[in-house]
Amino acid sequence: MNTLNSPQTRADRILDTIERDAICPRSRYLFLCQNSLLWLAWVLSIALGAVTIAVLNTGLMHGMYGLFEATHDSWMGLTLVLVPYVWLPVFAFLVLLSLYNMRHTATGYRYPAWQVVGSSVLLSLFFGIVLYWLGLGHAVDKMVGSAMPMYPSQERIEEKLWQQPVQGRLVGAYVPESRQGSIVRFVDAAGAAWEVETADLAPTDLSILETGQRVRVLGVLKPEQFAHFHACGVFPWLVGLPMPLSALNEEREAFIERVYEHRRVAVERLATLEAETYGQNGAKPPMGDCAETPAAKRIEAMYMQ
């Protein structure tokens, strides 16, 4: 477009173009909508971030800390299982999305990236914890778990960890009125029926077992008998319940106390028997199934030396 030799002023040429092409200023509402949509997108990314935090929190709060000696050799092993591989990248993506949205609002560029990212993370954390307490974290975790078979929902992780009879862990529910002496019938998470020996259980364990709710059972598989499990401790199935730190601590204390009790009683009994029989044939009596579980040994090694 060569307009350099035109006698008109530049302003006149521009106004002629505006008139000729019927150019009009775009509506104020268009810009208002655009800006509002960007803010809405920012709010949405924060809201989704909060849901992500709620799910992350569900995983972390139900992270099997309380009973970690029952399932893992060390904290490191537990930590590797607990890293929320799915939700951490999702959260990072949402934080970046919030930065992008904020930066594209009319005035969002004025804030440094660290402020936008920091405020997004803090807001997501705050609302995420609120949503966790409202139970949304578990609901989303469960929903995604049922929609995607590959997704490691908290329920799936914990079920997989506790449905390990060979390693002395079982998850399932007591069959009501099935007691015969110290043996009860029990159906595990896979639907298999078990005979569970409850002779070594403390009254607390028995009361938890007999609620008929889903429970976690720590014990010993008796290979010499078909589908026979010797129970040493019973713990409630907590997935889906809000877990304050105090509840986690209580769970842990109860676990250590009950599992160590087996070890303590066995050591005392062993000492007594050794005193009675020492020198006769030199053979040491067994300590008992529950005192020999890996969990009892780990707890003794960690706390009782």
Partner 1 sequence: MAHSAQAAHWRFPGILQGMEASSAVRLSDLSDEALIPCVLADKTCFAELVGRYEQPLMRYLNRLGVRSAEDQEDLLQEIFIKVYRNLNSFDQSLKFSSWIYRIAHNETMSWYRKVRVRPEGYLVADPEELMRLIPAGEPSADAQFDATVDSQLVNDALQALPEKYRTVLILRFFEHKEYEEISDILRIPVGTVGTLVYRGKQRLAALLSEKMDV
- Residues in contact with partner 1 by CB under 8 A are 1-4, 8-19, 23-28, 30-31, 103, 106-107, 109-113
Distance of closest approach, residue 123 Cβ to partner 1, in angstroms: 20
CA distance linking residue 34 with residue 142, whole number of Å: 36
Distance of closest approach, residue 95 Cβ to partner 1, in angstroms: 18
Q: In the complex with partner 1, which residue's Cβ is closer, 113 or 301?
A: 113
Q: In the complex with partner 1, which residue's Cβ is closer, 8 or 146?
A: 8
Residue 46 tokens read as 């924060």
CA distance linking residue 296 with residue 305, whole number of Å: 13
Distance of closest approach, residue 91 Cβ to partner 1, in angstroms: 24
For residue 34, the one-letter residue type is Q
Checking 41-44 for CB contacts under 8 A at 24+ apart, the result is: 41/97, 41/101, 42/98, 42/101, 42/102, 42/105, 42/108
| Nearest one of 182, 241, 242, 177 to 212, comparing CA atoms | 177
CA distances to 165, 170, 171, 293 from 160, in Å: 11, 10, 9, 19
CA angle centred on 198, ends 194 and 204, rounded to 5°: 120
Q: In the complex with partner 1, which residue's Cβ is closer, 13 or 160?
A: 13
Distance of closest approach, residue 116 Cβ to partner 1, in angstroms: 10
CA dihedral 209, 70, 260, 233 (to 10 degrees): 10
**Max Cα-Cα span within the chain:** 127
Residue 48 burial (CB count, 10 A): 17
Q: In the complex with partner 1, which residue's Cβ is closer, 21 or 177?
A: 21
Q: In the complex with partner 1, which residue's Cβ is closer, 108 or 152?
A: 108
Q: In the complex with partner 1, which residue's Cβ is closer, 4 or 150?
A: 4
Distance of closest approach, residue 99 Cβ to partner 1, in angstroms: 12
CA distance linking residue 96 with residue 162, whole number of Å: 37
For residue 193, the one-letter residue type is A
Q: In the complex with partner 1, which residue's Cβ is closer, 14 or 83?
A: 14
CA-based R_g, the chain, Å: 31
